[in-house]
Amino acid sequence: MSAWYWLLRGSAGCAVVLVVACGPSKDDKGNTNNNNVIECTGDEDGDSICDGHERNVDSDSDGVADYLDLDADNDGIPDEIEAGDADPNTTPVDSDGDGHPDFRDSDSDNDGLADGDEDINGNGQVDSGETDPHDPDSDDVGATVEVLACVLD
Ligand SMILES: [Ca+2]
Ligand SMILES: [Ca+2]
Ligand SMILES: [Ca+2]
Ligand SMILES: [Ca+2]
């Protein structure tokens, strides 16, 4: 924390000291060294996504910043599951490659079905009656073609 001091002279000749405290400036990635590179220096909410990736933004507008929010996109699937792995230093998974990592993407596989409607109980498993929120081909038609291709090969 730095501070600027100004010495002002009023019209009656008295001096006034104005002190303005200034916090460290941050770059677009939320770092104070202004190198604009995502750095994993901590995981405040312990969801296995580092603060540098979550940043001080509030994706779901619930009043809790993503770096403190255990479900940043409020789709019912915890960030810890949508992260893709348990290592906070790795880049969070972006299943559909749209530039929005799954933990802040309400339709992670971009198949038109919301994550919360695919993984209804939000446990990261494809249970009975659910579809895979990371599989854009939830009807399995493409998967059958893939299997046939393997047999023919
Ligand atoms: Ca985190
Ligand atoms: Ca939030
Ligand atoms: Ca979520
Ligand atoms: Ca989907």
153 residues of the chain, pLDDT tens digit each: 444 444 555 556 655 555 555 556 656 665 667 777 777 889 999 999 999 999 999 999 999 999 999 999 999 999 999 999 999 999 999 999 999 999 999 999 999 999 999 999 999 999 999 999 999 987 665 544 444 555 555
Cα of 33 vs centre of ligand 3, distance in Å, is: 30
Give yes or no: residues 52 and 33 share one domain: no
Give yes or no: residues 32 and 89 share one domain: no
Number of domains in the chain: 2
Give yes or no: residues 93 and 67 share one domain: yes
Give yes or no: residues 56 and 115 share one domain: yes
Cα of 23 vs centre of ligand 4, distance in Å, is: 41
DSSP 92: P
Q: How far apart are CA 77 and CA 83, in angstroms?
A: 10
Give yes or no: residues 12 and 46 share one domain: no
| Residue range of the domain that includes 32 | 1-37
pLDDT at residue 137, rounded to an integer: 85
pLDDT at residue 113, rounded to an integer: 95
For the chain, state the CA radius of gyration: 23
> Is residue 142 a part of any domain in this protein?
no
Give the number of whichever ligand sits closest to the CA of residue 68.
1
Cα of 138 vs centre of ligand 3, distance in Å, is: 19
Torsion angle, alpha carbons of 27, 30, 35, 40, to 10: 180
Q: How far apart are CA 25 and CA 132, in angstroms?
A: 42
Cα of 91 vs centre of ligand 4, distance in Å, is: 20
Cα of 151 vs centre of ligand 2, distance in Å, is: 46
> Is residue 89 a part of any domain in this protein?
yes
| Residue 9: strand, helix, or coil | strand
| Dihedral class, residue 82 (left if φ above 0, else alpha if ψ from -120 to 50, else beta) | alpha
> Is residue 150 a part of any domain in this protein?
no
> Is residue 143 a part of any domain in this protein?
no
Give yes or no: residues 33 and 104 share one domain: no
Give the number of whichever ligand sits closest to the CA of residue 96.
4
pLDDT at residue 35, rounded to an integer: 73
Cα of 108 vs centre of ligand 3, distance in Å, is: 10
Give yes or no: residues 8 and 68 share one domain: no
Give yes or no: residues 46 and 31 share one domain: no
